[in-house]
Chains A and B, each alone.
Chain A
């Protein structure tokens, strides 16, 4: 099962310059499993979006097919086949 993941341009230096990657989850999975798969290839990217407890950083948002995972089941939100997942920074800072 391949999932298209759109990544923040601001983190392109952590993902080999790419702002979109296809991740093969091997079957139905969760946002956590998807991020774990990304972390294996891009550990610095992972540290940017999740802290060392595995929690999504406060000002990082993840959408699965347009739905904010914080309004769903968080990192346990299911990622259906052929989903498009977007990781994007929230509006924050000054």
Chain B
């Protein structure tokens, strides 16, 4: 039977859970206890498993560790995996995203960081190079920090050299040439917190996700507003009808099936709790035209939010869906969200989860 790994990054350490059936889980002792774990990447390409974690210590700053033995040992490049070149005058504050590219680009891993910056590794996450195209973008001085920081928090690599990034609060940017040049792609996305009509950029996107089957289709959960694009981001249209709220942080896409997405609505910017204090995911199977609530196995009372990377899917069949709350509870579904079981409870605030069926 396949083993599934669930990695849980919290405010005070990393926990690893494994399961043979995705219902009963074995939880590790904490790794990196007392260190914030804002990003995790699980790279299973090529038949091996590499676990990457972005760490941040209040005292000792950010760094990246990786493990090729499921966390038994961890390695950190002596001179650091992500370091701003001297000419930039920059210093990494936090590593928000570690995203392996597709199977046909082995070794390529993307990182999104604070301050607003995109990085690419070609050696499976051991060393990253700053993406100069985005760093030198003329819009960069005008990008604002979102509530969580000034970060490229999402990287969505696509086919044929297409890459989308999402940042708070700059919005969505797209490259067609593998990351050499970038253009803002926010047409149709509102920015209610700015005066006047919606700008070209400056939207507060919380998460984007690409449709696995129709790669020109992406979905976005914004700081109020849920959207879909069918044309690689040229235009976005609202898909919030049918949801109990258009605020939230999560956007997940099904890894095999077109049109299936999950969000975790929160009431509003000023009320960041699940509607009625009851945790639920909302799933669409028609690309956001309609939604249905999934909550079996989730707690009846929950006043903690689910952060943007604290939800994930695996690539199993059926697909596993995972989420963790700021209250430190983690849930897993082995049946695409129909029912959940609790993996862990009373951990520190969950910042990110990633899951993979191990090769």
Task: Answer yes or no: A59 CB below 8 A from chain B CBs.
Answer: yes
Which residues does chain A contribute within 8 Å of B86, judged by CB atoms?
52-53
Interface residues on B, range: 10 to 19
For the complex, is A66 an interface residue (Cβ under 8 Å from B)? Answer: no
A residues less than 8 Å from B78 (CB atoms): 43-44
B59 interface neighbour in A47, A52, A89, Cβ under 8 Å: A89
Which range contains the number of A residues in contact with the other chain? Answer: 10 to 19
A11 near B60 (CB under 8 angstroms)?
A: yes
What A residues does B57 contact at CB under 8 A? 48
Residues A49 and B91 in contact, CB atoms below 8 Å apart: no
Tell me how many residue pairs across A and B have CB atoms closer than 8 Å.
48
Q: Does A60 contact B (CB under 8 A)?
A: yes
* B92 adjacent to chain A (CB < 8 Å): yes
The interface residues of chain B lying within 8 Å CB-to-CB of A52 are 80, 83-84, 86, 90-92
Provide the bound-state CA to CA distance between A24 and B285, in Å: 68
Contact indicator per residue, chain A 46-74, by CB within 8 Å of chain B (1) or not (0): 01110111010101100000000000000
Q: Flag A33-47 by CB within 8 Å of B: 1 or 0 each.
A: 000000000011001
- The docked-state distance in angstroms from the alpha carbon of A55 to that of B91 is 9
Q: Is A47's CB under 8 angstroms from B61's CB?
A: yes
Residues of A within 8 A of B83 (CB): 52
**Could you say which of B60, B79, B89 contacts A48, with CB atoms under 8 Å apart?**
B60
Q: State the Cβ distance, A47 to closest chain B Cβ, in Å.
A: 5
A53 contacts across to B, CB distance below 8 A: 84, 86, 89-91
Q: A47-B80, A57-B59 are in contact. List 12 more A-B contacts (CB 8 A).
A: A10-B60, A43-B78, A47-B61, A48-B61, A52-B80, A52-B83, A52-B91, A53-B89, A53-B90, A89-B59, A89-B60, A93-B34
